[in-house]
Amino acid sequence: MTSRPNIVLILADNLGWGEPGCYGGGELRGAPTPRIDALAAEGLQFLNFNVESDCVPTRSALMTGRHPIRTGAVQSVPAGLPQGLIPWERTLGEIVSGQGYATALFGKWHLGDKPGRFPNDRGFDEWYGIPRTTNESTFTSTPGYDSSVVPLPQVMEGRRGEPSRDVAVYDLEMRRRIDGDLVDRSIDFMRRQKAAGRPFFLYVPLTQLHYPTIPHRDFEGRTGAGDFADSLAEMDHRVGQLRDEVAALGIDEETLFLFGSDNGPEYRRPWRGTAGFWRGTYHTAMEGSLRVPFIACWPGRIPPGRRTNEIVHIVDLFTTLARVAGGEVPKDRPIDGVDQLDFMLGRQEKSAREGFVYYIKTELRAAKWRDWKMHFVWETEPNEGANHLETPYLFNLIKDPKEETDVNSFEGWVRGPIRRMVLEFQETLKTHPPIPPGAPDDYVPRTTG
């Protein structure tokens, strides 16, 4: 890259593939999404953008370009041990900041909740949001909640070189307000960087549509279709606010604007989401868990009105955005993300990847390659009981998007390249053993090569 474009990355929480209008939802979900739909029309809409199993692993993959089996940043960490990423990991914030970018995170972090692991310790100049997850907002309204045993959940803020601090209790009313606050702070940040003439990386991990899926009071009753639809309408509005500010600042053509989701749809009722065409929710290896909405818009650089079913994975954002900012990815560790910038810009027809492996926590669940997916463990709904398969199931996702018909008997040739991809990945785990979940700050991975 010859210039240093701005980067705005909005990451929704548990937004299923089938929720926005441009993915078949919108009105069908009780809430038109005109701003997200317009963004898709102005840029590149991904139909096969893939993530990890749930919140922590996906955010880890984004920030490190490494599958979470490597980083130890899995959802469940033993009680009393530190959560998130060890300091040895290099984050996207650190790489972009190293190129002179102003960096900010406004939203849900979920990659560390102690000094040394907050966003302002990991490459972000400033942050405001929640260190963990949105369901903690229910704690204070739960009968029997004891703050002497489980501390009050907090909204926090921090700046580089200073301690992060608590600023508000994260209760249900704050849960309603917080995405509005995140956008207000994001707009202020962009205005300040524009005035200073400094390129910026703005990461906005929203809290909607994670449970409890309840809207800002300004959107309560807006759709007439209940809290979930009102929350979807609010999310669409927040995306529009940020897009409008980029335009108002006159930096459209200088800004790569990205919108996506961290996971497949919420599975808890009454907030159950939908993956639309696909089957399943997050916390599984079903296609509805892996595929999420993702849109890239960059006027003058990304041709408008494109849609693609090429496979892209969230680890690729690490490598791609490092290149956009002029940075280099670490050479001393396996990086799973591949550079997709030329593909995004329309310079090449095909994605730079053909497939990927899929772990939940430390267990290999599936592998996806071209139009096929192989399941090694079968679980269609979270917590319904995982069936470890003696003979893996093989599905052709073009012919069978609901993953209902095993094609081992007549498309079995596909097992060869999938097995090779899996074995090659597992060999790298032998050379670079995974970081154990809950590893302390001073943990330094070893290599065996």
Distance CA(394)–CA(372), nearest Å, equals 7
210 is catalytic: no
Cα→Cα distances 211→57, 66, 111, 270, Å? 18, 27, 19, 9
How many C-alpha atoms does 2 have within 13 Å on its Cβ side?
0
pLDDT tens-digit profile, the chain (449 residues): 447 999 999 999 999 999 999 999 999 999 999 999 999 999 999 999 999 999 999 999 999 999 999 999 987 676 678 889 999 999 999 999 999 999 999 999 999 999 999 999 999 999 999 999 999 999 999 999 999 888 999 999 999 999 999 999 999 999 999 999 999 999 999 999 999 999 999 999 999 999 999 999 999 999 999 999 999 999 999 999 999 999 999 999 999 999 999 999 999 899 999 999 999 999 999 999 999 999 999 999 999 999 999 999 999 999 999 999 999 999 999 999 999 999 999 999 999 999 999 999 999 999 999 999 999 999 999 988 889 999 999 999 999 999 999 999 999 999 999 999 999 999 999 999 999 999 999 999 988 76
Q: Are 265 and 281 in contact (CB under 8 A)?
A: yes
Q: What are the pLDDT digits (tens) for 38-88?
A: 999 999 999 999 999 999 999 999 999 999 999 999 876 766 788 899 999
Q: Which domains does the chain have, with CATH numbers?
A: 6-139+152-344 (3.40.720.10), 355-431 (3.30.1120.10)
What is the rounded (10 degree) CA torsion for 210, 285, 283, 287? 20
Q: Are 304 and 22 in contact (CB under 8 A)?
A: no
pTM (2 decimals)? Answer: 0.97
Distance CA(175)–CA(214), nearest Å, equals 8
Structure tokens that stand for 73 in this block: 């940043």
- Given the residues 110, 283, 313, 432, the one annotated as active site: 110
pLDDT of residue 449: 63
197 phi, psi to nearest 5 deg: 70, 30
- Given the residues 55, 216, 313, 432, the one annotated as active site: 55
Distance CA(78)–CA(29), nearest Å, equals 38
Q: 315-324 vs 55-64: helix axis angle to the nearest 10?
A: 30
Distance CA(155)–CA(278), nearest Å, equals 35
Q: Are 17 and 278 in contact (CB under 8 A)?
A: yes
In 174-228, at which residue ranges do the beta strands (DSSP E only) sit? 200-205
Distance CA(11)–CA(181), nearest Å, equals 15
pLDDT of residue 1: 47
Alpha-carbon torsion (70, 203, 48, 238), positive or negative: positive
Best CA proximity match to 306, nearest among 333, 336, 277, 346: 346
313 is catalytic: no
How many C-alpha atoms does 165 have within 13 Å on its Cβ side?
5
* CB within 8 Å of 54: residues ≥ 6 apart: 75, 263, 282, 283
